[in-house]
Amino acid sequence: MTVDLAVAWLGIQMDNPLINASGVMCRTVEELEALRHSAAGALITKSCTLEPRKGNPEPRYASTALGSINSMGLPNAGYRYYLDYARRYDHEHDKPLLMSVSGMSLEDNLEMMAAFDEAALPVLVELNLSCPNLPGKPQIGYDFEASARLLAEVSKVYRRPFGVKLPPYFDPVHFGEMADVLDGCPSIGFVTCINSIGNGLVIDLERESVVIRPKDGLGGIGGDYVLPTALANVREFARRLPGRHVIGCGGIRSGREAFMHILAGATVVQVGTCLYEEGPACLTRIRDELVCLMQDKGYRTLADFRGCLRTL
């Protein structure tokens, strides 16, 4: 049986639903080009700031038995670098390009979003409300009133649909409050669920030590650990925001997890820890595993099962 993984959403066409998670293999032009030549259906840039940042001190990433912990601190080349890349990109003939923005202040976000609006490039912009690894900087996604104000101001300077990357939520009340914020902003075209679970702690028992340097060892948790939380967020926002798209992110290391995210309501999915550990070849494997799983289940397209998760 022939399986078609193609997906069309918000004016872009993808051969398959796989994208890198912003922050993984997307900091430099060389990394972005490697993704462009991979099996990814689209690619997204590193979350950018107004000016270049070196990020937090090393070591700031560690593998674990069930995933990873990181406190990268938004190392990036500054938004002009990624905007220049987007200007040179062959949007007509190549896979879609998404851009991630994570300003250190409201003013920074407005300046960058205004620049992207003025450039009028055929890209989708993801506004990051959820970086948990900046010492002294809270995640704005946990402040619903501040998030509403930010989105209202951004919508004044960026006049096309854009998306937001959200932190994980753990209570139905909070799902509802953030859904109300997003529903009140007509410019929101998609939400990405989830960023890493912030401020976890991994201990090396042999050394009796933390494993990363920033924040005395606290960092964002990714990989297998976060899959159930990610799926819950995808399902809740998919059904609370009808007509908007959800990007699933968290715990995807095979075709099985990609299928689960789509079954929960994701339009497309982002791969983070697995891509960091294995490199772009994992995208080919995950894509092929997803095809085999769909064939086994008798599904020809992603739409055949997207959002069709059963309850008991």
Q: Is 250 annotated as a binding residue?
A: yes
CA distance 54 to 57: 8
Is residue 26 flagged as an active site residue?
Answer: no
Q: Is position 195 annotated in a ligand binding site?
A: yes
Preceding amide of 188 cis, omega within 30: no
Do the annotations mark residue 28 as ligand-binding? no
Instruction: Please answer whether residues 202 and 66 qualify as being in contact, where contact means their C-beta atoms are separated by less than 8 angstroms.
Output: no
Tell whether residue 272 is among the known ligand binding residues.
yes
220 is annotated as contributing to ligand binding = no
Contact 198, 165 (CB under 8 A): no
Which one of 26, 48, 131, 193 is the catalytic residue? 131
273 marked as binding residue: yes
Q: Does residue 71 have a known ligand-binding role?
A: yes
HEC letters along the chain? CCCECCEEECCEEECCCEEECCCCCCCCHHHHHHHHCCCCCCEECCCECCCCECCCCCCCEEEECCEEEECCCCCECCHHHHHHHHHHCCCCCCCCEEEEECCCCHHHHHHHHHHHHHHCCCCEEEEECCCCCCCCCCCHHHCHHHHHHHHHHHHHHCCCCEEEEECCCCCHHHHHHHHHHHHCCCCEEEEEECCCEEEEECEECCCCEECCCHHHHEEEEEEHHHHHHHHHHHHHHHHHCCCCEEEEECCCCCHHHHHHHHHCCCCEEEECHHHHHHCCHHHHHHHHHHHHHHHHHCCCEHHHCCCCCCCC
Q: Check the annotation: does 196 bind a ligand.
A: yes
* Number of residues in the chain: 312
20 annotated ligand binder: no
Please indicate if the annotation marks 74 as binding a ligand. Answer: yes
- Residue 265 is labelled as binding a ligand: no
**Residue closest to 167 by CA, chosen among 74, 230, 243, 245:** 230
Q: How far is CA 65 from CA 17, 170, 204, 273, in A?
A: 27, 24, 12, 12
Q: Any known ligand binding at 267?
A: no
Q: Please give the annotated binding residues for FMN, written as ranges.
A: 22, 46-47, 128, 165, 194, 223, 250-251, 272-273
Active-site positions?
A: 131
Q: Please give the annotated binding residues, written as ranges.
A: 22, 46-47, 70-74, 128, 165, 194-196, 223, 250-251, 272-273
Q: Please give the annotated binding residues for substrate, written as ranges.
A: 46, 70-74, 128, 195-196
